[in-house]
Amino acid sequence: MRARIDKVAYRPVGILLGMAAGVAAGALFRRVWQFTAGDGEAPDATDEDRGWGEILAAAALQGAIFAVVRAAVDRGGAVGVRRLTGRWPD
């Protein structure tokens, strides 16, 4: 029963952390794209003026950055919950 309560209590924290991770990953991706490509904007998949290689490279980079930031934020949130409660969130 306690595990179920802990899971429900952690859910809003997880949602907020997920939103923060998305914002942080988007900002980080924009900075990395500007640095690597020299462009102000990453290409859209439907951008007619950009080639397949550039679009797929941007998508792969964005996905990798998002996954790493999300994992770091999730792990940090779980460690923080353990420090506060003494239990690892499930």
Among the listed residues 20, 13, 15, the one whose alpha carbon sits nearest the alpha carbon of residue 81: 13
Alpha-carbon distance of 73 to 76, in angstroms, equals 5
Q: In this predicted structure, what is the pLDDT of residue 5?
A: 59
pLDDT tens by residue, 44-65? 899 999 999 999 999 999 999 9
pLDDT of amino acid 72? 95
- pLDDT value of residue 80: 87
What is the pLDDT, as a whole number, of residue 41?
Answer: 85
Spans of all domains in the chain: 2-85
Give residue 11's pLDDT: 83
For residue 36, the tally of other CB atoms under 10 A from its CB is: 11
Low-confidence ranges of the chain (pLDDT < 50): none
Cα–Cα–Cα angle for 73, 76, 79, rounded to 5 degrees: 150
- Angle (CA) 61-63-66 rounded to 5° is 105
